[in-house]
Structure 1
Amino acid sequence: MQINRTALFRASCLSLLVTSLSFGIRAGILGKLGTDFQLDESQLATITATAFWGFPLAVVIGGFIVDLIGMKRLLVMAFVFHLAGILLTVFASGFWTLFISTLLIGLANGTVEAACNPLVASLYTDEKTTKLTHFHLWFPGGIVIGTLIVTFFNQFGLSWQIQVGMMLIPTVIYGYLFSKLDFPVTERVASGISTAGMYKALASPLFIFMFICMFGTAITELFTGQWIEVLLKNVTQNALLLLTLTNGVVFLGRAFAKPVLKAVTPQTLLLISAILAALGLYMLGHLSGTAVFGGAVIFGMGVCFFWPTMLGFVNTNLPATGALGLNLMGGAGMFAVSLYTIFMGGFYERIQKEAGGDTTLAGKSVLDATLVIPCILILAFAGLVIYMKGKAKKSAAAVQI
């Protein structure tokens, strides 16, 4: 068996591109779906949230079975789910077909992460956080491409069905590429760590702490990005371009992960990220006109390293948690976003009604409520920095003895 590390990594990036295209394109067509199928904000929130709870369902189940069935079989499943979900979206006829198609795409997205996160960690054991960050740059990259597709196609009056159908091209390509490649076993299997050893590592206080923090980092990044057009549509005429700009910043930041991670530790990077995310969210909620774009840049800098650094930190400092640890982290994040999206959909609608239909006030209220989360993360990650410094000092003292 010959493992082509570069080819596997490129195919992984392409599969993640499909995942992110689904976010970018759906964010851009959300308003049209509401108009075409006469859906209110709560129904749109429920449909959007379906992708977020389909994701953790798939990523957690995938985490439990990936060591048993292998990463290649998981990616075949992802391909089938993506194909079915995209086609059903194109031919949707109302709420339930959109609900089911979005669920299928969510399952596909989760299955991609369930296979590709441990794949990247297994291929690049000496630089996990850096390569996971390079892999995850295709998430914002795909959102940028997706929102540009929506903007460009809208200029020519092309339907949202054609926009969604564009995802079929990279889906078919990644399915073909993976079918031709050999895969390694996961790192935990290769290193001989027992299942009991894995579960012991998952019960450690540090993993539980990072697991809980993942709720906050995922909500801050993904909820805001997915709903930015709805939340700020009356603040600026180019709300969708805010999403493009934010994710463009994230894409560029992740491309330079190597020098950034050489300059600061992962835990310090998480603290800096939380501070910038909080500042960016405040600016998005309290500025208007072109000034909002400054907030989008700061916010993009803040959320840039959240997801891959959380995964890389856990897999580097708690390697015995293996593929399941990575996938439980991803599942925790997306599940939290799912619940938060449903809750905030109702909150947005309630504030809008109380304000006599004022969507600007409702959008700002949602952003202000969400701002609390990165503020809490600042305290949490400050504590993590102090804890890791103490741990490093103890390790250095033990070596000297």
Structure 2
Amino acid sequence: MSNDSSAASPTYHRMALLIASFMTLIAAGVGFGVRAGILNDWAIRYGFTKVELGTITGGGLVGFGVTIIFFSFLADNLLGYKKLLVLAFALHVLSVIVTLAATPVYGLAGKDATYWCLYIGVFIFALANGVCEAVINPLVATLFPKEKTHYLNILHAGWPAGLIIGGVIGYMFCGENAAVNHLYWEIPLALYMVPTLIYGFMVLKEAFPPSEAAAAGVTTKEMLLQFLSPLLLFLFVIHAMVGYVELGTDSWITNIMENVISGKAFLLFIYTSAIMFVLRFFAGPIVHQINPLGLLFVCSIFGCTGLYWLGSANTGWAIIAAATVYGLGKTFFWPTMLGVVGERFPRGGAITMGVMGGIGMLSAGLLGGPGIGYKQDYFATQKMQQLDDALFEEYRSQTKKSFLFFPEVYALDGAKVGVLKDEGAELARRTEIETEEGKVSEETTALNTWWEANKPSNEKEYDHEVETIETANIYGGRMALKWTALVPAMMGLCYLLLVIYFWSQGGYKQVVLHGEESETEQYTGGVQGPVE
């Protein structure tokens, strides 16, 4: 095996460390994918309402982004890569132990203690993923200093791989409609310990290099001075848009498309994840031809086209084609942006790459998810008022809500719509649970009062209400995707400006801290394939 002396001494096994880093993302993806399939098991086994389940699964999402940024400041000159990955391994193991303790805790202490057990387990899982993300990006950039974009894309193929594995496990073994056999939720969830144990064993066994910046003697102060660069700040702004359009859309796409292709939306998500997984192995040859910024510009065109098309497609084949275009577009955004920062600002070390990743995550949690949700509410409300204004008044929320500087709007009350769709089954279960606990909430009481007063009197009225609300929701989702397509359009303009800027400077070139660049790599950040 060959080793680049500029990256590490012969005792560092580059491919082993790359595989270990890859496994951290698989562990994260499997955990997310499986958990989506076992929520109903938690509801039935422990008596949780959907509100409680939403709070549990939301634990730590914004904290994920903050964790990335915080630990990035410790990766270069303080703790180093190995210690942080050992910490991440310990957190991953602790998260599964705490989560699996839910059943015995339920028997000993009841529902409230079980809720906190699951919430803390999910939160620790998010912290572990944040520590991993703070390490693996600068680690791979250090291991492959002249092939950063190529190998960062390979690294981030681990995330869609984990989603695919977790999704398939959930589809086969989770929920009442499991395709093969419904297993106790503890069994599929514990499977994310397989990639966790693999990367943990490798991390404990392998030696790690100092970071590229630390090996060059770059101080923390010098790393922080990189943030004075207008180019870096511009890249941060673009990556906030990447987080919005990629992770923000992904958090909603299954929910939006479920109204259009009932029962098949999750399979569509697995399909786009598979596109990402395969194509990320080929970033090197692509950037060798058009450079990273050219690749990002092309991706923004595909992303914009795919999202707008998804907002219009009606037939099955059109939806698959639109999803394919969207999948092609979002494939290279995140890792290639990290590659550009790593190539242009190697003196920033883990800090610049960590802040980049953290900004993307924070944007997804604070802007992408809420923003796309707001657009759905805004357009669904408009459609509902056109179709049946009296019915809208019956099902609208009690208060108006806004997003950023956009106007306040009423929305369809999700709780009321949920009661209508299952004809009060979940509400009855929730009421029974709270009655047994001796504390029926005001919300549950109000919802019961509303349902008794507004329950459809016959099948025709019920069908009309369901169809009208479904039509409004489909319209709201489609319009949200169309308007979200503006974000990759703006990204495309930003990438075009960067292409023009670097053309005026003699072309895009990566900055290296060790040795000399090869003539074939100086404009690309990638090579034709693995050099091992």
TM-score normalised by L of structure 2: 0.69
Using the TM superposition, give the Cα deviation of residue 285 of structure 1 relative to its aligned residue in structure 2, in angstroms.
Answer: 2.1
Task: Provide the rounded CA distance (Å) in 2 between the counterparts of 1:53 and 1:346.
Answer: 17
Is 1:205 the equivalent of 2:230?
yes
Q: Name the counterpart of 1:78.
A: 88
Q: Name the counterpart of 2:475.
A: 361
Q: Name the counterpart of 1:113.
A: 133
1:82 and 1:105 in contact (8 A); partners too: yes
> 1:236-258 CA distances to partner (integer Å, 9 max, x unpaired)?
13111111110111111101112
Task: Provide the rounded CA distance (Å) in 2 between the counterparts of 1:81 and 1:146.
Answer: 20
**Aligned positions of 1:18-57 closer than 5 A:** 18-29=27-38, 37-40=48-51, 47-57=56-66
Is 1:241 the equivalent of 2:251?
no
Task: Provide the rounded CA distance (Å) in 1 between the counterparts of 2:312 and 2:115.
Answer: 34
Task: Provide the rounded CA distance (Å) in 1 between the counterparts of 2:161 and 2:488.
Answer: 23
**Aligned positions of 1:199-348 closer than 5 A:** 199-236=224-261, 237-290=263-316, 291-340=318-367, 343-344=370-371, 347=374, 348=376
> 1:135-166 CA distances to partner (integer Å, 9 max, x unpaired)?
11111111111111111222122344432221
1:27 and 1:229 in contact (8 A); partners too: no
1:137 and 1:255 in contact (8 A); partners too: yes
The answer to which of 305-314 and 292-301 deviates more is 292-301
> 1:62-81 CA distances to partner (integer Å, 9 max, x unpaired)?
11111211111111111122
Q: 3-state SS of the aligned residue for 1:182?
A: coil
Q: Name the counterpart of 1:376.
A: 490
Equivalent residue letter for 1:271: F
Greater radius of gyration (CA): 2
1:47 and 1:98 in contact (8 A); partners too: yes
1:75 and 1:178 in contact (8 A); partners too: yes
The answer to which of 3-12 and 287-296 deviates more is 287-296
Q: Name the counterpart of 2:525.
A: none
Task: Provide the rounded CA distance (Å) in 1 between the counterparts of 2:339 and 2:230.
Answer: 17
Residues 345, 95 of structure 1: alpha-carbon distance in 2 compared, 3 angstrom cutoff: farther
Identical-pair percentage: 35
Which of 485, 500, 503 is residue 389 of structure 1 equivalent to? 503
1:89 and 1:164 in contact (8 A); partners too: no
Task: Provide the rounded CA distance (Å) in 2 between the counterparts of 1:44 and 1:363.
Answer: 23
* Alignment coverage as a number of residue pairs: 393
Is 1:10 the equivalent of 2:19?
yes
Using the TM superposition, give the Cα deviation of residue 95 of structure 1 relative to its aligned residue in structure 2, in angstroms.
Answer: 5.4
Using the TM superposition, give the Cα deviation of residue 277 of structure 1 relative to its aligned residue in structure 2, in angstroms.
Answer: 0.9
List alignment gaps of at least 5 residues for structure 2. 1-8, 103-110, 382-395, 397-410, 418-468, 510-532
List alignment gaps of at least 5 residues for structure 1. 396-401
Is 1:59 the equivalent of 2:68?
yes
Is 1:102 the equivalent of 2:122?
yes
The answer to which of 247-256 and 347-356 deviates more is 347-356
Q: Name the counterpart of 1:399.
A: none
TM-score normalised by L of structure 1: 0.90
Task: Provide the rounded CA distance (Å) in 1 between the counterparts of 2:195 and 2:301.
Answer: 36
Residues 102, 345 of structure 1: alpha-carbon distance in 2 compared, 3 angstrom cutoff: farther
The answer to which of 189-198 and 50-59 deviates more is 50-59
Select the structure with the greater relative contact order (CA < 8 A; seq sep ≥ 6).
1
Using the TM superposition, give the Cα deviation of residue 122 of structure 1 relative to its aligned residue in structure 2, in angstroms.
Answer: 1.1
RMSD: 2.5
Residues 340, 96 of structure 1: alpha-carbon distance in 2 compared, 3 angstrom cutoff: farther
Task: Provide the rounded CA distance (Å) in 2 between the counterparts of 1:310 and 1:49.
Answer: 26
Task: Provide the rounded CA distance (Å) in 2 between the counterparts of 1:204 and 1:58.
Answer: 24
2:247 and 2:368 in contact (8 A); partners too: no
Task: Provide the rounded CA distance (Å) in 1 between the counterparts of 2:88 and 2:139.
Answer: 14
Is 1:168 the equivalent of 2:193?
yes
Task: Provide the rounded CA distance (Å) in 1 between the counterparts of 2:86 and 2:297.
Answer: 37
Task: Provide the rounded CA distance (Å) in 2 between the counterparts of 1:369 and 1:34.
Answer: 34
Bigger helix share: 1
